[in-house]
Structure 1
Amino acid sequence: MSHAPSQPGEWFPPSGRAPDDDADVQLFLFPHAGGTGAMYREWAATVPATVEPRVLHLPGRWGRGDEAPLTRLPLLLARIGEALEAELDGRPYALFGHSFGALLAYRLAVQFEKEGMTAPSVLAVSGWVPGEDILAKQRAVPEMSDDELVAAVKELGLLPTGSVLAEELLRTALPALRADFGAAAEYLDDGAQVSCPVVAFAGRSDPLVVARAMGVWADRTSNFVGVTEYPGDHFYLFDHAISLQLSLQQLLQLPT
């Protein structure tokens, strides 16, 4: 099935706060599987004026619900790459990806480097490592029933226990979740490295990724900054957004 190209603004729309054309750095945020830009509004509200946050909005979800989700990883990376390139304006930029978003951010950094484009100043990855143990779990998701998938997402801590409304909202996001997990299942690790600094973040109680496994990223760059662990599960980052942002500011050598 073919998909008509989308305008760059649909992929990385403005954050909603005041224009950030004078910010020193662009920060592109890549959400988890099934995630939407709406879930990362806190980032836009708390990052300093020196940083312009832009959140990836994929087809088939918030703001783009009339578009079919992209289920093939090569096509997805190509479309995001085109949109990201169109957003770059000469300022330094950083990529932050959580879970499925970390996969996307990493592969885009690899892609840009191969094409001779300006590399990100920092690649920040969270809740995902390019290992076969993680891929095996991702490949199982497309075969799950709706009820099994909802139960699996609950185990990740995405839904408050007993929240009927939240579960109903989650069920509306199942097509996007399946699309993202299907794309992730196509990923075959080639050990590709990037030249930019890489920093990793993890939740200590993440049921998907053991925090110490994030050290694998040291093999993907000659400039590995290290791993920072936070209390929490797979979605620890929503409770520690400001601390994460402070770490990124320091790496980008911005005023704190």
Structure 2
Amino acid sequence: MTEPVAAGADRWFQPESAPEAGTRIFLLHYAGSGASIYRDWPPLIPADVSTQAVQLPGRQERLGEEMFTDVGPLVETLADCVSAELDGRPYAVFGHCMGALLAYRLTVELAERGEQPPVLLGASAWAPQGFRTPAPEQLRVPQSELVEWARGLGSLPEAILNDTEALGLMMPAMRADLEVCASYHDDAAEVPCPIVTYSADKDPLVDPEAMDSWVPRTTSYLGNRLFRGGHFFLHEETTTITADFVRLLLGRAAAARSAL
């Protein structure tokens, strides 16, 4: 499948929550969703840290744009856009599920290009090994079967499940994003920054030992925070996760500034 041509970099980002802040976080959403999943983050984060959510094409205000279905071109385009945004401020990247995959590969890509790397990578509900990516044939099932699969993960509110029009708008992005995940082949790449991870004890997509596969990907693995819950624990644990991630980020940002 031909991959879409990238839109202007400004289309890829929501406005910064605090443009004058000295540190910021790029946030990457999970499959089938959009930047709005992080709408609750800014009020929980100190004024000296700005958040900027990434908006992939094919959803919300980018609904009419062609979607990516292969992780390689998506990461390359995302790296182009992030590179154009970097201004010397220390920054972190954080993602949940597909967003964590993209955050990881974005960090690898930026390092390979010699661009300013993040000072911290946060990966939630995804790991390089031990993540149960849907098989390609599962992506071609009728919409009703895909909806039931998503229902089992708890990813679709009942209001959407009962709204045929809303499902019709959402499911193409879900299919495309799952194709992105299915196209990924791990190469054991390392990143030049610390990694912290977050997972849940009843996540059906993440094996119990999966987060151990992050250890060799960095010289500074900051550990895994295990929560009770399913795949979308991110929403129930927003306050705890943001507090932990920002604490780590501010420490790494201070260290980066002192090294200059």
Shift of 1:167: 4.2
1:94 alignment partner, SS class: strand
The match for 1:37 is: 35
User: For 1:67-216, what aligned pairs fall within 5 Å after superposition?
Assistant: 67-131=65-129, 134-135=132-133, 137-160=134-157, 163-168=158-163, 169-216=166-213
> Does the C-alpha gap of structure 1 residues 141 and 12 become closer, same or farther in structure 2, counting only changes over 3 Å?
farther
Which 4+ residue blocks in structure 1 deviate beyond 4 angstroms?
none
1:47 touches 1:242 (CA, 8 Å); kept in 2?
Answer: no
Deviations 1:116-163 (A, max 9, x none): 11111100001011126523x253431222111101111111234xx2
Gaps of 5+ in 2: 254-260
Letter paired with 2:52: R
The match for 1:24 is: 22
Shift of 1:83: 1.0
> Does the C-alpha gap of structure 1 residues 138 and 87 become closer, same or farther in structure 2, counting only changes over 3 Å?
farther
Letter paired with 1:231: R
2:118 touches 2:193 (CA, 8 Å); kept in 1?
Answer: yes
> Does the C-alpha gap of structure 1 residues 133 and 213 become closer, same or farther in structure 2, counting only changes over 3 Å?
closer
Deviations 1:100-127 (A, max 9, x none): 0111000010111111111111000010
2:130 touches 2:210 (CA, 8 Å); kept in 1?
Answer: no
| RMSD (Å) for aligned C-alpha atoms | 1.9
Once residues 218 and 9 of structure 2 are traced to their aligned partners in structure 1, the CA distance between those partners, rounded to angstroms, is: 29
Quick one: higher RCO (CA 8 Å, sep 6+), 1 or 2? 2
Deviations 1:209-232 (A, max 9, x none): 134421210021111000001121
Letter paired with 1:205: K
- Pick aligned residue for 1:238 from 226, 235, 241: 235
2:76 touches 2:109 (CA, 8 Å); kept in 1?
Answer: no
Letter paired with 2:97: S
1:93 touches 1:121 (CA, 8 Å); kept in 2?
Answer: yes
Letter paired with 2:50: E
Deviations 1:45-104 (A, max 9, x none): 322211111111111100001111111222111111111111111100000011001110
- Pick aligned residue for 1:224 from 221, 225, 235: 221
Shift of 1:166: 4.2
Gaps of 5+ in 1: none
Letter paired with 2:107: A
2:123 touches 2:198 (CA, 8 Å); kept in 1?
Answer: yes
Aligned residues: 249
Letter paired with 1:247: D
2:200 touches 2:230 (CA, 8 Å); kept in 1?
Answer: yes
Letter paired with 1:151: E
Once residues 217 and 101 of structure 1 are traced to their aligned partners in structure 2, the CA distance between those partners, rounded to angstroms, is: 15
1:202 touches 1:227 (CA, 8 Å); kept in 2?
Answer: yes
